[in-house]
Chains A and B, each alone.
Chain A
Amino acid sequence: MLKIENLSATVGEGEAAKTIINGLSLSVPAGEVHAIMGPNGAGKSTLSYVLTGREGYEVTGGSATLDGQDILALDPEDRASAGLFLSFQYPIEIPGVPVMTFVRTAMNSQRKARGEPEISAPDYLKKSRDVARLLNLDADMLKRPVNVGFSGGEKKRLEIYQMMMLEPRFMVLDETDSGLDIDALRTVAEGVNALRAPERGMLVITHYQRLLDYIKPDKVHVLAKGRIIKTGGPELALRLEKEGYDGVLAEAV
């Protein structure tokens, strides 16, 4: 499904450009959930931005494909229509644009790009109600401008709401657990798990093992200095939690 091969990328321009991703290879087959863990500055968030095409990040080598399609050549919106979704570590506030308008516009833009018919207003509302109920989201929140005045936990839940509404094929969750208390974490994980399916893949970027108690990964990768230095099963996350990153980092050298 998602295949990253020998990917390198820099942040910044000209003389100030800095290599953050440095020969990273990773493969997530359909139906699997992989976790990426790593210390601060390892390149975790950069990887999510490079995959989704944020400005200011330049790919200097390697490739990334989704079901064989080169995603790095696409504009961000086309990557989204191809099924790539990023749950932002810091969701952005959009004053003046209500959640409903935003998500419906996004949904219909993606459908249009894929040559599918638009969703009708009643169908959208029904789906929205169902998803909001599952995530404990207040209906009033969906009428408010996107993320404006939302608490950290509400913003994260709104990311998952969007994910469940848009039903992407591949999801990147960037530190979705940060800023969440245990109850919110459980709700968010429930939403994420509801999307697990044989045809979907997921990359869960996290600092702590805690999230992985709720979203069980098939594989755990350790990212350091811009590349994967170790891959293992869920037990690797437990070991990192116990021993910290130092042990694994030392082993890799």
Chain B
Amino acid sequence: MSAALKDMIRNPTVAELELVARYAALKADPRRERLFEAFALTGLPHRRNEEWRWSDFKAAVGALDASATPPADDPLASEGVATLKFTPQGYVAPAFLPPGLRLLPKDEVQAMGGAEDAPLGALAAALSGAKNAPATLMAEVTGETPVRLHMVFSGPGAINAARIMFLVRPGAELQVSESHLGGAAFSAALVECTLQPDARLSRVVYQRGGKGEAQAITALIHQEAGAETKQTVLAFGARVARIETRLVHQETGSHATLNAAYLAGDGYHVDFTSHVRHGARACVTRQVTKGAVVNGGRGVFQGKFHVPRNAGQQTDASMQHNALLLEEGAEVFAKPELEILADDVQCAHGNTSGQLDAAQLFYLRQRGIPLVQARALLTEAFIAQALEEAGIHEEALRAQASAWLAI
């Protein structure tokens, strides 16, 4: 490894050196270099980086050996739906693609907008495309019928870096489900999606990592006029897991629903971060995040709406985060942020964290429902709102949540 490469990150950790070595072994490409540099500016983000202060990847990611935990089961898998798999060895395309979907493997790394703002997204982009795989995998969605695609990100292995760029043509619709199942010591996934006018995206994300693993799932969504996104995430965390969504309303009349639920057990950390820019008039954002955390678990919510002075007029946006601390010792950190420079807007936000209601618990118990079950029932009801927009996947997600709560 050249001295220049080694010096890219200041005081690198073992893991960072391994990431540099991984990068150095890939085919040289000026865009790849720029992406890796964007990552190297921060290195693995840590608590002194403002946007990462509650999710310290630098401390959490040790040596990048193969993970000891096998990948989790996939509750979203469904026969007859095209499945695209991303593993440490590269990607496996489905045998049959649904009509309206084209995969476009590119030999050159594609640029990524705002790479400096999403260092682990930039890392995923810089490290994807190992060996024979294309430098960047693009996908185009066209046609009048919705295109369904399932994507699986899982090990086994040490590093699983994956990137896919969707281009959804005007009026077309992509229904994508993603299962991020861990099985690698460090997983970094980058999903980019450009929605052209009146295009629609429904995205359902299931995340479940191992107790010794780190996962970063970054999504960049650009919406043109009249485009619509509906996103639902259910996350159980990992040693450290960050699910980040950066969405830009680029043209007027675009609409986004960003819902998420997290359940953090003992030793698990889940971070939801979102950044929504209302860069055009009369766009709508609805965001509901619900979480429940037990002793030894940690939940993080960072939500930001940015509404520029002129472009953002007539913005209609609401953000809600509610967390349940199920036991003493549970931790939740929340930072809802509205940066509103326009004056003709409707923006609201709510943020609570608390415990289950004692009166409700007593009512259930008086009817004969045992305490543990009563808690599970109330917690499931509490997070249910965040899963309501998951369409055909709602039931599977609720079943996962309910099984977790029953333990």
Contacts and interface: CB of A to CB of B under 8 A. Distances in A.
Pairing of A with B: yes
B368 A97 contact: no
Contact of B368 (A54, A55, A113, A145): A113
A92 interface: yes
Contact of B373 (A53, A54, A76, A105): A105
Contact of B367 (A53, A54, A80, A93): A80
Contacts of A55: 358, 362
B290 to A, nearest CB: 10
Interface in B208-238: none
A162 B367 contact: yes
Which of B358, B359, B366, B369 has the most C-beta atoms of chain A within 10 angstroms of its own C-beta? B366
B406 interface: no
Contacts of A105: 369, 373, 377
A95 B366 CA distance: 17
A102 B364 contact: yes
Given A55-B358, A94-B360, A76 B381 contact: no
Contacts of A76: 362, 365-366
B384 interface: yes
Given A92-B359, A92-B360, A109 B366 contact: no
A166 B381 contact: no
A110 B371 contact: no
B378 interface: yes
B385 interface: yes
A180 to B, nearest CB: 20
A52 interface: yes
A95 B368 contact: no
Interface in A76-128: 76-77, 79-81, 85-86, 88, 91-97, 101-103, 105-107, 109-110, 113
B52 interface: no
A75 interface: yes
A81 B360 contact: no
A75 B365 contact: yes
B384 A96 contact: yes
A106 B369 contact: yes
A109 B381 contact: no
Which of B359, B364, B366, B368 has the most C-beta atoms of chain A within 10 angstroms of its own C-beta? B368
Interface string A133-153: 000000000000100000000
Interface residues of B, number: 22
A158 to B, nearest CB: 12
Interface string B368-403: 111101100110111011000000000000000000
B368 A106 contact: yes
Interface string B32-56: 0000000000000000000000000
A96 B387 CA distance: 12
B363 interface: yes
A120 B373 CA distance: 20
Contacts of A52: 366
A80 B366 contact: yes
Nearest to A163: B367
Contacts of A91: 363
Nearest to B363: A92
Nearest to B374: A77
A106 B363 contact: no
Contact of A77 (B371, B382, B384): B371
Nearest to B359: A92
Nearest to B362: A54
B364 A106 contact: yes
Contacts of A77: 365-366, 368-371, 374
B244 to A, nearest CB: 28
Given A54-B362, A55-B362, A110 B385 contact: no
Given A55-B358, A109-B370, A109-B373, A96 B381 contact: yes
A109 B369 contact: yes
A95 B381 contact: yes
A211 B374 CA distance: 33
A247 to B, nearest CB: 36
Contacts of B367: 80, 102-103, 106, 109-110, 162, 166
A80 B368 contact: yes
Contacts of B364: 94, 102, 106
A93 B378 CA distance: 11
Given A52-B366, A92-B360, 6 more contacts: A53-B365, A96-B385, A106-B369, A109-B367, A113-B368, A162-B367
A-B complex: 3 closest residue pairs judged by Cβ atoms: A96-B381, A80-B368, A106-B367
28 contacts: A53-B365, A53-B366, A54-B362, A54-B366, A75-B365, A75-B370, A76-B362, A77-B365, A77-B366, A80-B366, A80-B368, A88-B363, A92-B359, A92-B360, A94-B363, A96-B380, A96-B382, A96-B384, A97-B378, A97-B381, A103-B367, A106-B364, A106-B367, A107-B368, A109-B367, A113-B368, A113-B370, A162-B367
